[in-house]
Amino acid sequence: MAHTYIRFDFGTDEEKAQQARHKLDGWRQAFRLDKRVQYKMDRPESAVAAAGAQPETAAKPEAAEKPAPATKSKAKPAAKTTAKVAEKSGEPAAEKPEAAANSKVGLLIRLYFSSHEKLSEQRWIERIPSEEPFKSAAPRIIHQHDPEFEATDTQFESLS
């Protein structure tokens, strides 16, 4: 089975990327394309930012766990209130939009149709880039015979 990749570069527009992801999910469910149309979000700069953010988030749960062993009956409400106060403070929520606004967002779609489904594959190759959230994202179609296919294939497999 041959497969084809479509690469979209949304720049820093996280909202458009999420709309595109949502549209792909709808198509996959409506047309039963689970194995045939797969996608992964590509955020090259946010991987570095996420690695830096993990130690901060790991330190906060430890601070919430330390008061818990003091007294069991009063510690549970105190831990819940601490968690609620941390959620309402908005500090983590304020950090996420800044990181999302500064990072580039890409979408990598793999079309994986069998040889007797060439017409379906061609229709999806034409349809996906022509729809609204995808139009402005500079679509790049990469077929199996293209020179950058191997690099794109390994990148798709490495993304989570």
**How many structural domains are present in the chain?**
2
Same domain, 13 and 83: no
Same domain, 152 and 111: yes
Share of the chain above pLDDT 70, in %: 63
Q: Is residue 48 part of a domain?
A: no
DSSP 115-151: GGGHHHHHHHHHHHHHSHHHHTT--EEE-TTSTTHHH
Q: Is residue 134 within 8 Å of residue 128, measured between CB atoms?
A: yes
Question: Where residue 21 falls among pLDDT bands split at 50, 70, 90?
Answer: very high
How much is the average pLDDT of 97-107? Answer: 70
Pair (37, 7) in one structural domain: yes
Do 39 and 66 belong to one domain?
no
Note whether residue 148 is domain-resident.
yes
Residues 8 and 84 both lie in one domain: no
Helix axes 44-65, 72-89, angle to 10 degrees: 150
Do 112 and 36 form a contact (C-beta atoms < 8 A)?
Answer: yes
- Please give the radius of gyration of the chain, using alpha carbons only, rounded to the nearest integer: 21
Residue ranges making up the domain that contains 96: 59-100
Residues 109, 146 within the same domain = yes
Specify whether 64 is located in the same domain as 39: no
Looking at the fold, whether 112 and 77 belong to one and the same domain comes out as no
Give the mean pLDDT of the chain.
Answer: 77
Same structural domain, 96 and 19: no
Per-residue pLDDT band for 103 (boundaries 50, 70, 90) equals: confident
Same domain, residue pair 37 and 108: yes
Q: What is the mean pLDDT of residues 1-6?
A: 86
The C-alpha torsion from 90 through 93 and 98 to 102, rounded to 10°, is: 170
Q: What is the pLDDT of residues 54-78, one digit of tens each?
A: 444 344 444 444 444 444 445 455 5
Q: Would you place residue 100 in the very low, low, confident or very high pLDDT band (cuts 50, 70, 90)?
A: very low
pLDDT the model gives residue 44: 78
22/128 Cα distance (integer angstroms)? 13
**10-19, 38-47, 66-75, 76-85 — most confident range:** 10-19
Q: What pLDDT is attached to residue 160?
A: 79
What CATH number has the domain bearing residue 18?
3.30.70.600
Give the pLDDT band of residue 13 (cuts 50, 70, 90).
very high
